[in-house]
Amino acid sequence: MLEYRQKRLQMEPIRLNDIYSSLEKSESLEFRRVVCIGVFDKDRSIYVGPRSRSISGVAVNGYYVITPLMPVPNNPDSVQSTVLVNRGWVPRDWKDKPLEIPHDSQQHADIASLSVQYGEQSTWWRFWSKKPKIVEDQAPAITPVQVVGVVRGSENPSIFVPANDPSSRQWFFFDIPGIARALGLPENTLYIEDINENVNPSNPYPLPKDVNTLIRNSVMPQDHLNYTLTWYSLSAAVTFMAFKRLKPKKIQR
C-alpha cells in the first residue's frame, strides 16, 4: 500500500479538465497529483478540527480549511465544476479572524456578474453580433489561481472522534459527501489536498500539507517492528524472572 501511494505521488500532475474529458472516476485517481485552475469562494470555507501541529517544538491547535474552487466563466483552462480544496492548516485564532470581506465579496460579485453576462452573450448572439464584444470589454477582471493538489477521499474516524454537526458548522473529520451537501454541491464533488511547497514566509497560512505525510499511515511497518521487539523483550524478561523466582533452591547439608 505504501509503495502504491509513493508511486502514484511520483507521477506527473495531470490537468483536471483532461480527467473530465476521459470520464475517469475519482476513486481511481486517489493519490494522483492534479492541476486545476479556478477562483476560491472563501466566504464558504469550512474548518475541520481541531488538529494539532508542532510549531517550534510546541503543540498548537488549529484547523484544516476546505474552500470551494469555483469555475471561471469564459476561461477554457478553468475547472468545469466546483472542486473542494483543502488549502492547509491554520491556527485556532486564524479561524476567528475576519476575512478580507471587501475583496472576497467583490470577487464573488464579479463571478456572479460574469455568469450573468455570459448568459446574455449566448442569448443575444443571434440577434446582435456586436453584443459579445461589448460584454467582453465590460466584463470585470477575475484573477484565477492554479492549485496543484492530491486527490483524496473521506476519513474513517475512530470511535473517539465526535460526529460532525453540519447545522452548527462543526466538522471533526473529513466527510466529503457531507461537506459537499452542506455547501449545496453534489456528493461526488472532487476533493483534493493542496501540496504547494512555495509557502510565503510572511503569510504562511493556510499551510499546505507536506506530500510526505500522505505516504504515512497511522501505523507504519517500523512501528510494527518496534512493537514486536518491545513485547518479545518484555516476555523474555518476565520469563527469566519467573524462572529465577520459581526455581527450587538447593538444600545445603
Over residues 125-169, the pLDDT tens digits come to 333 344 444 444 454 567 889 999 999 999 988 899 999 999 999
User: Is 134 inside a domain boundary?
Assistant: yes
Number of domains, the chain: 1
In the structure, what pLDDT confidence band is assigned to residue 82 with cuts at 50, 70 and 90? very high
User: Is 124 inside a domain boundary?
Assistant: yes
Q: Is the pTM here over 0.85, yes or no?
A: no
User: Is 177 inside a domain boundary?
Assistant: yes
User: Is 119 inside a domain boundary?
Assistant: yes
Residues near 252 by beta carbon (within 8 Å), at least 6 away in sequence: none
User: Is 231 inside a domain boundary?
Assistant: no
> What are the tens digits of pLDDT across the range 91-122?
988 877 654 444 444 555 555 554 444 344 43
Range of the domain at 83: 2-222
Which uninterrupted H or E stretch holds 59? strand 58-70
Quick one: CA dihedral 60, 64, 65, 70, positive or negative?
A: positive
**Rounded to an integer, what distance in angstroms lies between the CA atom of residue 6 and that of residue 119?**
44
